Amino acid sequence: MSDSTILLQNDTLELVVKPVADVAVADLLATIVYGAHGIRYRHSGRELKIGQFQNPLYFHLYVSGTLQGFYCLDRRTVTGPWGPIDGFYGRYLAVSEAFQGRGYGRLLKSEAVRYVERQFTPPYLFYSYIEEKNVRSMRLSNERGFASYGQLKTFVFRRLRPRPDPRVARIPPAELTAFLPRLQAAYQTYALKTDARIGYQGNYFGLKEGNEWVAGVQANPVSWQFLTMPGTSGWLMMYVLPHLPLLNRLFSPSYRFLALEGPYLQPGREALLPTLLESVLAHFQLSSALIQIDSQDPLLPTVTTNMGLFSGFESVNTHVMIKAHGLTPDQLERLQHAPFYCSSFDYT
């Protein structure tokens, strides 16, 4: 698609799909507050990722000529248990605060899905990650024919004073190219697998023994700004913990952490994971790293074993919402039972 296409237009509303996002999108995204049930936060730097998608469809909603809503479907090739397939990943569903509650979010998502259904030939699938507590988004997805095919758990690895290990370093680009087939083989049974963001900003780190990389992980630094957290524990985290020496490294309202994806561990070297993650934290001078991991992921026991006092699961349950077109019943069945891969580029 080389030009903009008007999908809807009346006296006040205009919905347009474009190959490039408006400059005004960055300002809109900077105002959006995320979260549900009392936890409210903003993502920092999301506008920096807008121009880094390979095949995006950007849906713009204007009210009286001013951008008030936005949604993106990023077209990419993902692998399923049966092989590659076109995937449309939905993200950045945003409506300005003054225009929320008028059905504009539903309009954006519905028209975006309809546009793809008119323009593209199956097989393909839509997918997105939605927190279970986000009742509005879950309801909207169900209305558009999406269903939950899997659930992701949020695990946070923490170290108060992370120490580097001399065996851990960024894997150089040439060596990462040679390393990728091993990573792909490790995830060959996963669904929605993409390695498009492996090596993003040069941040795939490995642990080397002798001349061999025996462990690795992608680590992206991220910043979130927390506005409110519910209950007594939330009050303590927002207003007490940030003022406690040393412990304030674990959390502050301006929360900086690493988003992880694609952990690789050579069989028999699973115990190296805490060392790898601690060294990566030390590299960035941070104390927390987050990973979204499927509840059926065979790596789950490794990720949660001997990870330290302050590490553990957060009370966040995220659904993998999928709407498939042109898949056979057997493919859908296999999709239901495969562990899902989750890119850190997508969930932050």
**CA nearest to 88, candidates 172, 134, 144, 48:** 144
Give the DSSP letter of residue 305.
S
Residue 192, sorted as left (phi over 0), alpha (psi -120 to 50) or beta, turns out to be left
Kindly give the residue spans of alpha helices, DSSP state H, lying in the chain. Answer: 24-31, 46-49, 104-119, 135-143, 173-186, 231-239, 273-284, 300-303, 329-337, 344-347
Residues found in the chain: 348
In this prediction, residue 1 has a pLDDT band, given cuts at 50, 70 and 90, of very low
Cα–Cα distance measured from residue 164 to residue 111, given in angstroms and rounded to the nearest whole number: 49
The CA-to-CA distance between both ends of the chain, in Å, stands at 27
Please, is 275 exposed, middle or buried when counting C-beta atoms within 10 Å of its C-beta (0-12, 13-18, 19+)?
middle
Q: Is the pLDDT of residue 47 over 60?
A: no
Q: Span 308-316, mean pLDDT? A: 89
Q: In this model, does residue 188 exceed pLDDT 50?
A: yes
> What's the Cα-to-Cα distance from 154 to each of 110, 308, 314, 347, rounded to whole Å?
28, 16, 6, 11
216-264 pLDDT per residue, tens: 999 999 998 888 888 888 888 888 888 888 888 888 888 899 999 999 9
Query: Rounded to whole angstroms, how far apart are CA atoms 43 and 211?
Result: 39
46 pLDDT band, cuts 50/70/90, is low
Of 177, 168, 180, 179, the C-alpha closest to 206 is 168
Check residues 82 and 63 and name the one with the higher pLDDT: 63
**Is the model more confident about 284 or about 316?**
284
pLDDT at residue number 37: 63
How does DSSP assign 142-193, residue by residue? HHTT-EEEEEEEEEEEE-SS----TTEEEPPHHHHHHHHHHHHHHTTT-BSB
